[in-house]
Amino acid sequence: MSRGFISAALLFLAGCQTRVVSYDSFLTGLPGSEQQLPGGRKMGDYIDPTRVREDQLVKNEPGTEKKKLVAKSGRHLMIHIYNTIDAGDVDLFTQQVLSTKSKNEFAEKGVDPREGFDFLKAHQEDLQILFSLMPAGENTPGLRMMPMGGGVQRVALDGIMAKGLYWNGFDMIQERGNWKLRWMVGPQRYER
């Protein structure tokens, strides 16, 4: 190698500077933890649209007793699926949890979407098992979220975690800013 090349490389490397402005380690914020770097990310005025407090997931429309469900994430959708099935609220499920695309498919097959609700109700224990394995929805470690085309996202467990489950996940699709249930996925599905 020529001396000129080595000299140029050394000058280039000497001119590079790395500066850490902010750093969040996995210990940041824990009581008693210390770090020498400044903590916290500064993101300006950005507000994560998926961050909704759980007490804000069900809103009552003013002047009526009608409920409006908010599902900005897969976890929110899971909460609505679970709560409507548990409460036996078939109307709220078919109107605000089930996607329009799924309702249309039910209609094409000559099936009332309430039958789908009844099917899920009959397999409520299987839903509880599945949802207990994905407590943070799509943010659960080891869980996969995959695009399925047409705006559909699949939230599913795989490998050993999915072994022996009635369902291993669910498909969801965005409608008017909220996630809606496309349907459950896995070894067992509702087919008529």
Token digits of residue 183: 């349907």
Per-residue pLDDT band at 99 (split at 50, 70, 90): very high
Average pLDDT value over all residues in the chain: 82
Which residues make Cβ contacts (< 8 Å) with residue 99, sequence separation at least 6? 172, 173, 175, 180, 181, 182
Amino acid identity for residue 118 in this structure: D
For residues 91 and 6, the model is more confident at 91
Q: What is the C-alpha separation between 127 and 170, in angstroms, rounded?
A: 10
Quote the pTM value. 0.72
Q: What is the C-alpha separation between 60 and 100, in angstroms, rounded?
A: 22
